Structure 1
Amino acid sequence: MIDPPDWLAPRLAALHNGPHRTGSLIITLYGDAIAPRGGSLALASLLSIMAALGIGEGVVRTAVSRLAAEGWLERRRIGRSGFYRLAAKGAETFAAATRRIYGAPPRREDPRLEVVVLGPASAREAARAALEAAGFGGLAPGVFVAPAGTAVPPLTGALRLTAEPAPGDAAALAALAWPLAGVADRYRHFLAVWAGAGPAPAPEPLTALVARVLLIHDYRRAVLRDPLLPAALLPSDWPQPAARALCARIWRRLLEPSEAWLDAHAIAEGGALPAPDAALAARFADLAET
């Protein structure tokens, strides 16, 4: 385990003071740092990174075996060395998550809502799952809403219409349909945890990689639950912009040293990790350097 600087020590300690899912941390590592470099990592390299986080070998081996069984990773053996790479299921999900984590939120100015009302012939559970996956929130039993322009999945026996909330009612309606209070709490917790990581000198490479994994792990736990609604549907003190700006600023500071550690120590199936693709440098590109 690393000897963390003062600004990172509380977050690293919190990782071990409560329950955490090692598999979820591994998913974060692959999505943030390994996917841009070909998607494959030697088990030995993964064990080194997880050890820096204070997570033991047995726990990591169990976690990657479970991720492979669930279709997120594929295990390959070359000689006596094992490697894990993103499976097709994992790669597709990572691509969608990457757009949400690092890309600019959609610019939605239209306050109107797409409304879907399920008919009695609809397969309610399957329809609900399809609508939620498409970005709809449940307003009432059988009634789902989403920002105007959201694609509606094909459903049998469902009615669709467009509605505009009365002035002053939009945010209250959105709070009924989506768990906005919980999402806001996650963003505020992120801001509280990472505010102290400001403009200090960049840490040494392995510490930077540990911090980068924890940073994105925390941020994605909020943003992947965020319905990314138009401003007209959000409370005036919505914390997402501040959380995203802080995440981008810290991530940029950690990027160069953490990539240096991967260059020097991480191994893929063909030897050293490939150089990162151009998309890595484009992450958070809409935010000005700070």
Structure 2
Amino acid sequence: MTSQNTWFETAVAELADPRDQRVWSVIVSLFGDLAQEPGAQISGGALTRIIEPIGIKPEAIRVALHRLRKDGWIESDRIGRVSMHFLTEYGRVQSAAVTPRIYARGPTPARPWHLLIAEEGAGTQVLDEVMLSHDCTPITRNVALGPGPAPGQIEGVLAFDVTPHTVPKWVQDRLCPQELRVACQSLFEAIQQAARSRPGDWSATPLQSATLRTILIHRWRRVVLRQPDLPAEFFPSDWSGPACRDAVFDLLDTLPRPAPQVLNNTA
């Protein structure tokens, strides 16, 4: 049985993404979960204490912060000898746009759908432009599926209101490719393993909670934002998304979200 003193380290190792971690993306996940509200700031010291247990070095954090400032996501101020970092207005808007998808606890409800078909070749550019302003999921280069009624007449695009009676395997495979299925199943198994080894009386410190929440949200975000927001019949039989979602929130519910000021004042 894993002891209470070592479970945190074990859980970090189990839950960390086995693929290369883009540090700037981890920081975006951290701010989106812990410091998305206007005025919320995370000190450089707190940022390091949260992320360093994942195996990310302070030098890599500084490089990632530089990139995020350059890209307009984050701003930084110095208060005495302390660096404080916070999301820009652009960063908050981008984070808020995906928050409902990341934190949604239930499946996509049944609703009307529409199908858009563009001519091969030049018509695909028109469809690309439509998808920039409509919530559509591409099926092939010239076919897309969207929620709700079909939009008004779009030159060069054939639109149908549809009800999916059958979804063939080739469509399921295009909407949910094997790589995404493997990533989701891997996260689900990692959470199950961490849950099995967790001592019954273990409780997280604010920093431990912040670290585990960051790992979990970051890894779940990389799954949920790549999966189309579609009902169950659009997914292959081996898709573990619903079970993985339940496991993510079962673990998150045991990790209280610490306030930024608490993290900034914790050594």
| TM, length-normalised to structure 2 | 0.80
Q: What residue identity is the alignment partner of 1:116?
A: L
Aligned length in residues: 258
Counting only pairs closer than 5 Å after superposition, residues 65-80 of structure 1 correspond to structure 2 as: 65-80=66-81
What is the alpha-carbon root mean square deviation over aligned residues? Answer: 3.3
Q: Is the 8 A contact 2:119 2:157 kept in 1?
A: yes
Q: Secondary structure at the match of 1:170?
A: coil
Give the whole-Å Cα distance in 1 for the aligned partners of 2:45 and 2:130.
39
**Alignment-derived partner of residue 160 in structure 1:** 159
Give the whole-Å Cα distance in 2 for the aligned partners of 1:181 and 1:132.
26
**Alignment-derived partner of residue 196 in structure 1:** 193
**Alignment-derived partner of residue 282 in structure 1:** none
Q: What residue identity is the alignment partner of 1:145?
A: L
Deviates more, 1:85-94 or 1:244-253: 85-94
Give the whole-Å Cα distance in 2 for the aligned partners of 1:213 and 1:45.
13
Q: Secondary structure at the match of 1:99?
A: helix
Tell me by how many angstroms 1:248 deviates: 0.8
Counting only pairs closer than 5 Å after superposition, residues 171-182 of structure 1 correspond to structure 2 as: 171-172=168-169, 174-182=171-179
Counting only pairs closer than 5 Å after superposition, residues 120-269 of structure 1 correspond to structure 2 as: 124-125=124-125, 127-128=127-128, 130-131=130-131, 134-146=134-146, 148-149=147-148, 152=151, 156-165=155-164, 167=165, 169-172=166-169, 174-198=171-195, 200=200, 201-255=202-256, 259=258, 262-266=260-264
Identify the structure with bigger relative contact order (alpha carbons < 8 Å, sequence gap 6+).
Answer: 2
Q: Secondary structure at the match of 1:5?
A: helix
Give the whole-Å Cα distance in 2 for the aligned partners of 1:125 and 1:105.
34
Q: Percent identity among equivalent residues?
A: 25
Q: Is the 8 A contact 2:115 2:143 kept in 1?
A: yes
Q: Is the 8 A contact 1:187 1:240 kept in 2?
A: yes
Gaps of 5+ in 2: none
Q: Is the 8 A contact 2:150 2:159 kept in 1?
A: no
Give the whole-Å Cα distance in 2 for the aligned partners of 1:150 and 1:48.
48
CA pair 82-64 structure 1, distance change in 2 beyond 3 A: same
Tell me by how many angstroms 1:79 deviates: 4.2
Q: What residue identity is the alignment partner of 2:169?
A: A
Q: Secondary structure at the match of 2:131?
A: helix
**Alignment-derived partner of residue 275 in structure 1:** none
Tell me by how many angstroms 1:239 deviates: 1.6
Deviations 1:44-87 (A, max 9, x none): 32223223333222111110110111121122334443322112
Q: What residue identity is the alignment partner of 1:131?
A: M
Gaps of 5+ in 1: 273-290
Q: Is the 8 A contact 1:131 1:153 kept in 2?
A: no
**Alignment-derived partner of residue 23 in structure 2:** 22
